[in-house]
């Protein structure tokens, strides 16, 4: 009778797999080597059942039609040691994410890697992980990954690939590799570089080219000007005064994860009066680093040189002589820039000798990197706040343009592209496609057969995911760690290392190759320890030498003055996308749907510009509404080439600058296709980061952009209606200067709306004074809004993506909404972030109104959501003042390509096998028609409580429960724990004067409270323009007074922030 089980929620792949017979590829997973960690090929298959796999069609049992169908259990044949079915295991590994090498721990559920965490022992992770790193796990389970090699579109086999490569190797041995060209990406890996070296030595005629958008080319060239071979490495923790020149150093650039942690450490105010570091930011864009700044000034990219020159001049006035040919720089001029501001800045930097740090963004030319190095040196920063570490073993390689000219001159007959996607990423003046057509054999190694480059290649080799192959990586500080796989290649794939060795005529596995590199240094115990710790060689890198600015001054002399940016000379900036980078993450649904930190755009890029510029170009300030929001289209043209895309107004950008994010408009898969517009065509080798002389004109047509937060202000928009004008800002993100906080610590409380004492509608369901009571604090003074928590949450809690058309309708499912508010005038605002998830109110409005009691309170103070009881009235969402509940309007866990034959059937059964494997078996998959929301990672809470009960007195120790968001937060802004325990971290933080409850006036008694944000402005600048930072004490007090005025006697008033427990 029952065709399939009717359960609407499922726990894991195993319990839902329709016939328990996963396709052979899926089952054939085990890490090679490292046998003690691995399952055997067959046992992998058998574990599938341990939790009860297989929903075979079950009829004909006693009381047949009512009973659940038969489930089968497939035990191991031989269970590996230390394997407890159903208990996750963690393995250390390491990979570069967005070009930055970091160490990670991967959670493996019965052989399936499901979740990535930072490795606390790894110096460039410190236990944190970025959004991109968190999302990288999803790529392993992308149903659109290339599963087999192919030659000109026709499916092929690995054997064919081996013979092909063997042939190439044989030929190359003969002609010393003449006509053989390798195009590689930046791979700071000992084994990789070793193999490249061998290639070079065995095939002296072969040519190696490197092209990687994340490679720090300008920084390296800058150092070269100073006679150094290496890169600058920041010690943000040592700096008290920091100047970031168009550098997103705590956001998405370089070692952002550690930088953010160190930066936040410099701002962890425990009591009023504690010292804080100070951050100045000069930038054309509005980065999240800019949002954290104490002082921020806008400045077009072309004007940055001018800024540096005036800074040097200003420093000279403060007795800091910078060994620079200022005269050369002085030809640069900054447009309408407050010289006084620079003077004060210079004074501050000079005052903090040895503790000041100047950072410049990779987008700017080598000369400026060098100049900044000299400034840092003059400020005594060298070796203290920044050090220059030598890079060793980086193989010499040509550039992409060299390769293209080579190919066009028919010097290349065999091209091997190891990773990378030049046809898409190349600048507009390089026609890689036609050049490749001139090459007899082109072999592309990449994850997607539909890659723009793979599509035009004669051969495509499916690349293994990093969780499927071995490798080793050198972090920028010199730490070397091993990349260890957690699963055998699911499909017929090869890793880049394996391809390299095949090109050398050997067919070694990636495991053998890595071992070969390390066998003389690591073996047996030490090798296993390296694997276990995730650190093979501790950080050690020689200083790159001493700075010599002679070469620099020569370069400076040759510097030509850029024409000033103006309304008639627009500047177009090309920036790596914070999610897709150069497009490499384009088919990752989590990242595509993740709202950008500042613009909140999902699934698209757009021509970003500020209000003033948009006004000049005649672009409507507000989108049109025809069901969904549609925006004006513009045509951006530079040097004869042009692209059409939607215009989006983003406050705080420099005037007359347009921002175009790279990485969109790709076609390598269902997710990537249709998302945004490719803008590489506008770039040239000469101007690949920004270009002047651009023209922008509006064109006909409108385009829908899915922005998850189009409202800029922390209250009603005064421009929208005269009635709103009298209503002020709402006290949601509370902010105050450090001085004011020191003077009146209670000011934070006073910012709240005063309300008469409120009674509960219903008596408390629990006694919250007893037992362990979970609570959370989020420190807005550390939170950079980097979105890492949002993706960590998504991957831990099986949160679905809903695709652009539903984000447009406002149905995104993220449990953590990164709220972003602007303050001050729209064209030069400050911005604040507030991660907003369910705050687990003790007096929860949602609980009272649910007619079936599907959301109820736990005795330890959590607001439980019971999916299998929910009927979906959505009343709870209406009554939630924070609007943090998410509803499954459709069956998002059904594979979109399959339509359900029966709407009552659990749609999650329609997920493709490979997608199911990613799901976290400890969290229920939600069915269509149920509400969901943040659970404080209840699965982790329960696990900790169970362990405490099994092993001890049932009391969970502080720090034993770490929610996914806290675990990954680079800034360490989130703290979770028992707020009844006076010694727990969370309760200590909650005692701070800057701890407050959002919407406390509603008497919800939220368990998640926020620590108010502090700004540390330079008194000198502050005196001149007090409004230089937005929402401040002034407004706060005003708000408090409005409250007083509004409500009768103070006798009955209570402060919002009054603690209830």
Partner 1 sequence: MSDKPITDNANYDPLDGRAPLIIGGHDFHSLTEATSKPLESKATTAWKIIFSISLCGLALYLGLIGWLVWKGTGVWGLNNPVAWGWAIINFVFWVGIGHAGTLISAVLYLFRQKWRTSINRSAEAMTVFAVVCALSFPGIHVGRLWNAYFLFPFPNQMDLWPNFRSPLLWDVFAVGIYGLTSLLFWYVGLIPDLATIRDRATTRGRQIAYGIFSLGWRGSFRHWWNYEKAYMCLAGLATPLVLSVHSIVSFDFAVSNLPGWHTTIFPPYFVAGAVFSGFAMVITLMVIVHKAFGMENIITMRHFENMSKIILLTGTIVGYAYGMEFFIAWYSGSEYEAFAFYNRASGPYAWGYWIMISCNVLSPQIFWFKKCRTNLVVLFIVSIFVNIGMWFERFVIVITSLHRDFLPSSWDYFSPTWVDIGMLIGSFGLFMTLFCLFCRYLPVVATSEVKAVLPQADPHYDEKGGH
Partner 2 sequence: MAQIFPKWSNYTVLAITVKLTGVLFSLIFIFSWWFSPKYTDVGFSPEQPVAFSHKLHAGEMGMDCRYCHNTVEQAAHAAIPPTATCMNCHKVVKTESPEILKVRTAHEAGKPIEWVRVHILPDYAFFDHSVHVAAGVGCATCHGRVDQMKRVTQHAPLSMSWCLDCHRDPSPNLRPKTEVTNMGWGTEPAFAGYNPTADPHRTRDVQPPKHCSGCHR
- Contact partner at residue 262 from partner 1, partner 2, none, CB < 5 to 8 Å by partner kind: none
If one asks whether residue 365 binds partner 1 (CB under 8 A), the answer comes out as no
Q: Is the distance from CB of 400 to CB of 167 less than 8 angstroms?
A: no
Please tell me whether residue 411 binds partner 1 under the rule CB under 8 A: no
Q: How far is the CB of 56 from partner 2 (least distance, A)?
A: 9
| Cβ at position 925, least distance to partner 2 in Å | 8
* Comparison of 193 and 997: residue with beta carbon closer to partner 1: 997
* Contacts of partner 1 in 508-547 (CB under 8 A): none
Of 282-321, which residues contact partner 1 (CB under 8 A)?
none
Of 1003, 995, 861, nearest in space to 936 by CA = 861
Question: Can you give the binding site for partner 2, defined by CB under 8 A?
Answer: 7, 9-12, 15-16, 40, 42-43, 45-46, 49-52, 54, 61-63, 66-68, 70-79, 84-87, 856-859, 862, 864, 866-869, 922-924, 935, 938-939, 941-942, 946, 949-950, 952-954
Q: Out of 368, 788, 930, 1006, name the contact with partner 1 by CB under 8 A.
A: 930
Q: Which is nearer to partner 2, 363 or 910 (CB)?
A: 910
Neighbours of 891 (CB within 10 A): 23
**Which is nearer to partner 1, 753 or 974 (by Cβ)?**
753
Site for partner 1 in 604-663 (CB under 8 A): 625, 627-629
- 212 contact partners, CB below 8 Å, separation of at least 6: 99, 185, 186, 420
Q: Does 724 bind partner 1 (CB under 8 A)?
A: yes
For residue 164, give the nearest of 444, 584, 490, 356 by alpha carbon.
444
Under rule CB under 8 A, residue 778 binds partner 1: no
The answer to the question of residue 890 lying near partner 1 (CB under 8 A) is yes
The DSSP annotation for 91-154 comes to: EEEEEEETTEEEEEEEEEETTEEEEEEE-TTSTTTTT---HHHHHHHHHHT-TTS--S-EETTE
Would you say 366 or 865 has its CB closer to partner 1? 865
Cβ atoms 219, 391 nearer than 8 A: no
Q: Which of 458, 448, 507 is nearest to 153 (CA)?
A: 458
CB-CB neighbours of 629 under 10 Å: 18
Which of partner 1, partner 2, none does 521 bind, CB closer than 5 to 8 A by kind? none
- Least distance from C-beta 197 to partner 2, angstroms? 42
Which partner in partner 2, partner 1, none is near 11 (CB below 5 to 8 A by kind)? Answer: partner 2
**CA 981 to CA 836: how far, in whole Å?**
25
4 binds partner 1 (CB under 8 A): no
Residue of 649, 642, 650, 679 lying closest to 664 (CA atoms): 679
Query: In terms of residues, how long is the chain?
Result: 1061
DSSP 776-798: EEEETTT-----HHHHHHHHHTT
Q: State which of residues 9, 713, 915, 1037 lies at the interface with partner 1 (CB under 8 A).
A: 713
Nearer to partner 1, 810 or 1026 (CB): 810
Closest contact distance (angstroms) between CB of 814 and partner 2 is 19
The site partner of 86 among partner 2, partner 1, none (C-beta below 5 to 8 Å per kind) is partner 2
Residue from 311, 732, 789, 831 binding partner 1 (CB under 8 A): 732
Residue 557: how many CB atoms within 10 A of its CB?
Answer: 10
Sole window of 102-110, 632-640, 642-650, 1044-1052 interacting with partner 1 (rule: CB under 8 A): 1044-1052
CB of 813 to partner 1, least distance (A): 9
SS3 839: coil
Ranges within 946-1005 binding partner 1 (CB under 8 A): 998-999, 1002
Cβ closest to partner 1, residue 278 vs residue 886: 886
337 binds, among partner 2, partner 1, none (CB under 5 to 8 A by kind): none
Residue in 166, 54, 27 with CA at minimum distance from that of residue 498? 166
From first CA to last CA, the distance across the chain in angstroms is 54
CA dist 818 and 1009 (Å) reads 15
Site for partner 1 in 781-820 (CB under 8 A): 806, 809-812, 817, 819-820
Rounded Cα distance, 33 and 522, in Å: 15
Cβ nearer to partner 2, comparing 74 with 889: 74
By the rule CB under 8 A, 1053 interacts with partner 1: no
Among 174, 319, 558, 722, binds partner 1 (CB under 8 A): 722
Within 10 Å of residue 361's Cβ, how many Cβ atoms?
A: 28
Residue 728 interacts, among partner 1, partner 2, none and using kind-specific CB cut-offs from 5 to 8 Å, with partner 1
From the list partner 2, partner 1, none, which binds 383 (C-beta under 5 to 8 Å, kind-based)? Answer: none
The per-residue b/e assignment along 244-261, b for 16 or more CB within 10 angstroms, e otherwise, is bbbbbbbbbbbbbbbbbb
Nearer to partner 1, 616 or 811 (CB): 811
Residue 806 binding partner per list partner 2, partner 1, none, with a CB distance cut-off of 5 to 8 Å that depends on partner kind: partner 1
Quote the least distance from Cβ 961 to partner 2, whole Å.
13
Shortest distance in whole angstroms from residue 939 CB to partner 2 = 5
Instruction: Verify binding: residue 410, partner 1, rule CB under 8 A.
Output: no
In order, the DSSP letters of 105-122 are EEEEETTEEEEEEE-TTS
- Give the burial class of 166: count Cβ atoms within 10 A of its Cβ; 0-12 exposed, 13-18 middle, 19 or more buried: middle
The tokens 């050049």 sit on which residue? 435
Using the rule CB under 8 A, is 895 a contact of partner 1? no
**Residue number with CB closer to partner 2 (122 or 926):** 926
By a kind-dependent CB cut-off of 5 to 8 A, residue 195 interacts, out of partner 2, partner 1, none, with: none
Distance CA 472, CA 502 (A): 18
Residue 651, Cα to own-chain centre: how many angstroms?
22
**Where in 823-882 is the site for partner 1 (CB under 8 A)?**
834, 836, 845, 848-853, 869-875, 877-879, 881-882
Q: 547 to each of 374, 552, 649, how far by Cα in Å?
A: 8, 10, 43
Residue number, 4 or 612, with CB nearest to partner 1: 4
In the complex with partner 2, the residue whose CB is nearer, 355 or 773, is 773
Distance, in Å, from the CA atom of 214 to the CA atom of 859, rounded to the nearest integer, reads 49
Rounded to whole angstroms, the Cα distance separating 24 from 796 reads: 27
Query: Out of partner 2, partner 1, none, which partner does residue 270 contact, by CB within 5 to 8 A per kind?
Result: none
Which lies closer to partner 1 via its Cβ, residue 286 or residue 927?
927
CB under 5 to 8 A by kind: which of partner 2, partner 1, none does 10 bind?
partner 2
- What residues between 576 and 605 interact with partner 1 by CB under 8 A? none
Partner from partner 2, partner 1, none binding residue 84, C-beta < 5-8 Å depending on class: partner 2
Cα four-point dihedral sign 221, 227, 233, 234: negative
| Binding of partner 1 by 331 (CB under 8 A) | no
Nearest distance, CB of residue 709 and partner 1, angstroms? 5
**3-state class (DSSP) for residue 315:** helix
Nearer to partner 1, 611 or 906 (CB): 906
State which residue, 228 or 839, has the beta carbon closest to partner 1: 839
Question: At residue 75, what are phi and psi to the nearest 5 degrees?
Answer: -75, 165
Looking only at the bridges linking them, the beta strands covering 641-649 and 471-474 are unpaired
Q: Would you tell me how many other CB atoms lie within 10 Å of the CB of residue 1001?
A: 20
Interaction partner, residue 903 (partner 1, partner 2, none; CB < 5-8 Å by kind) = partner 1
- Binding part of the chain for partner 1, among 52-60, 325-333, 793-801, 883-891 by CB under 8 A, reads 883-891
Phi/psi of residue 484, nearest 5 degrees: -115, 130
């Amino acid at each position: 009778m029952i065709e399939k089980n009717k359960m609407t929620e499922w726990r894991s792949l195993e319990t839902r797999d329709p016939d328990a017979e996963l396709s052979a590829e899926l089952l054939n997973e085990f890490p090679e080597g490292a046998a003690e960690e691995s399952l055997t090929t067959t046992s992998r298959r058998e574990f599938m059942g341990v939790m009860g796999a297989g929903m075979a069609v079950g009829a004909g049992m006693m009381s047949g039609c009512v009973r659940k169908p038969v489930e089968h259990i497939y035990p191991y044949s031989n269970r590996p040691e230390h394997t407890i079915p159903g208990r996750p295991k963690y393995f250390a590994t390491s990979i570069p994410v967005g070009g930055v090498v970091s160490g990670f721990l991967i959670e493996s559920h019965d052989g399936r890697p499901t979740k990535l965490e930072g490795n606390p022992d790894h110096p460039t992770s410190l236990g944190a992980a970025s959004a991109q790193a968190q999302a990288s796990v999803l790529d392993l389970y992308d149903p659109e990954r290339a599963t087999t090699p192919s030659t000109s579109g026709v499916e092929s086999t690995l054997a064919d690939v081996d013979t092909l490569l063997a042939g190439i190797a044989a030929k190359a041995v003969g002609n010393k590799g003449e006509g053989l060209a390798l195009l590689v990406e930046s791979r700071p890996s000992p084994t990789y570089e070793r193999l490249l070296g061998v290639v070079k030595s065995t095939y002296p005629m072969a040519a190696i080219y490197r092209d990687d958008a994340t490679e720090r080319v300008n920084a390296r060239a800058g150092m070269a000007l100073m006679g150094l071979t290496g890169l600058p490495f920041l010690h943000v923790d040592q700096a008290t005064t920091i100047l970031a020149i168009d550098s997103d150093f705590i956001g998405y650039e370089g070692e952002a994860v550690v930088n953010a942690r160190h930066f936040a450490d410099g701002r962890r105010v425990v009591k009023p009066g504690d010292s804080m570091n100070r951050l100045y930011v000069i930038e054309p864009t509005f980065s999240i680093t800019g949002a954290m700044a104490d002082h921020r000034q806008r400045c077009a990219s072309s004007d940055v040189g001018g800024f540096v020159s005036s800074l040097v001049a200003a420093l000279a006035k403060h007795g800091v002589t910078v060994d620079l040919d200022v005269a050369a720089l002085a030809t640069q001029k900054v447009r309408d820039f407050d010289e006084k501001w620079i003077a004060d800045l210079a004074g501050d930097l000079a005052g903090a000798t040895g503790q000041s740090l100047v950072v410049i963004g990779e987008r700017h030319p080598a000369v400026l990197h060098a100049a900044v190095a000299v400034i840092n040196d003059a400020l005594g920063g060298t070796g203290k706040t920044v050090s220059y570490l030598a890079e060793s073993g980086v193989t010499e390689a040509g550039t992409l343009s060299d390769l293209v000219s080579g190919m066009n001159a028919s010097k290349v007959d065999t091209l091997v592209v190891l990773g990378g996607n030049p046809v898409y990423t190349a600048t507009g003046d390089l026609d890689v496609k036609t050049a490749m057509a001139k090459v007899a054999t082109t072999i592309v190694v990449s994850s997607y057969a539909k890659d723009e480059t793979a599509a035009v290649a004669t051969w495509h080799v499916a690349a293994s995911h990093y969780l499927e192959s071995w490798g080793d990586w050198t972090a920028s500080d010199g730490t070397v760690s091993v990349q260890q796989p957690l699963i055998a290649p699911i499909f017929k794939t090869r890793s880049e290392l394996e391809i390299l060795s095949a090109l050398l005529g050997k067919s070694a596995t990636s495991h053998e190759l890595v071992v070969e590199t390390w066998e003389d240094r690591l073996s047996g115990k030490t090798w296993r320890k390296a694997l276990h710790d995730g650190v093979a060689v501790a950080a050690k890198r020689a200083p790159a030498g001493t700075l010599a600015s002679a070469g620099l001054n020569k370069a400076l002399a040759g510097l030509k003055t850029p024409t000033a940016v103006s309304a008639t000379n627009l500047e177009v900036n090309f920036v790596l996308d914070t999610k897709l980078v150069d497009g490499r993450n384009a088919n990752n649904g989590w990242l595509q749907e993740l709202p950008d930190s500042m613009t909140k755009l999902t699934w698209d890029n757009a021509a970003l510009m500020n209000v003033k510029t948009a006004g000049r170009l005649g672009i409507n300030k507000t989108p049109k509404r025809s069901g969904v929001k549609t925006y004006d289209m513009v045509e951006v043209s530079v040097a004869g080439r042009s692209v059409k895309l939607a215009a989006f107004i983003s406050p705080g950008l420099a005037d007359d600058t347009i921002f175009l994010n790279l990485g969109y408009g790709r076609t390598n898969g269902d997710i990537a296709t249709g998302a945004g517009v490719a803008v590489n065509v506008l770039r040239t080798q000469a101007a690949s980061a920004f270009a002047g002389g651009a023209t922008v004109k509006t064109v006909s047509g409108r385009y829908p952009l899915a922005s998850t937060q189009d409202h800029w202000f922390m209250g009603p928009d005064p421009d929208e209606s005269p009635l709103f004008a009298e209503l002020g800002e709402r006290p949601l993100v509370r902010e105050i200067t450090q001085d004011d906080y020191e003077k009146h610590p209670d000011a934070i409380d006073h910012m709240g709306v005063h309300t008469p004492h409120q009674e509960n509608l219903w008596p408390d369901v629990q006694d919250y004074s007893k037992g362990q009571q979970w609570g959370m604090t989020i420190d807005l003074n550390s939170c950079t809004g980097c979105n890492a928590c949002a993706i960590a949450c998504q991957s831990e809690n099986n949160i679905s993506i809903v695709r652009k058309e539903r984000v447009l309708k406002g149905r995104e499912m993220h449990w953590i909404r990164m709220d972003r508010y602007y303050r001050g005038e729209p064209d030069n605002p400050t911005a604040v972030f507030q991660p907003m998830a369910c705050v687990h109110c003790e007096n929860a409005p949602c609980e009272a109104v649910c007619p079936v009691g599907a959301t109820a309170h736990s005795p330890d103070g959590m607001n439980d959501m019971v999916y299998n009881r929910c009927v979906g009235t959505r009343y709870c969402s209406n009554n939630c003042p924070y609007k943090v509940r998410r509803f499954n309007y459709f069956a998002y866990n059904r594979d979109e390509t399959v339509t359900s034959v029966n709407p009552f059937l659990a749609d999650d059964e329609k997920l493709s096998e490979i997608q199911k494997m990613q799901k976290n078996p400890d969290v229920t998959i939600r069915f269509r028609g149920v509400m969901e929301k943040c659970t404080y990672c209840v699965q982790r809470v329960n696990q900790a409580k169970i362990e405490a009960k099994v092993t001890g007195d049932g009391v969970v120790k502080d720090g034993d429960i770490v929610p996914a968001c806290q675990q990954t937060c680079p800034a360490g802004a989130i703290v979770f724990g028992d707020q009844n325990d006076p010694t727990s971290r969370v309760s200590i933080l909650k005692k701070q004067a800057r701890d407050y409850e959002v919407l406390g006036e509603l008497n919800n008694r939220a368990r998640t409270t926020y620590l108010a944000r502090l700004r540390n402005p330079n008194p000198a600048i502050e005196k001149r323009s007090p409004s230089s930072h937005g929402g401040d004490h002034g407004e706060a007090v005003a708000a408090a007074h409005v409250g007083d005025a509004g409500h009768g006697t103070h006798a009955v008033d209570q402060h919002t922030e009054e603690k209830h427990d």
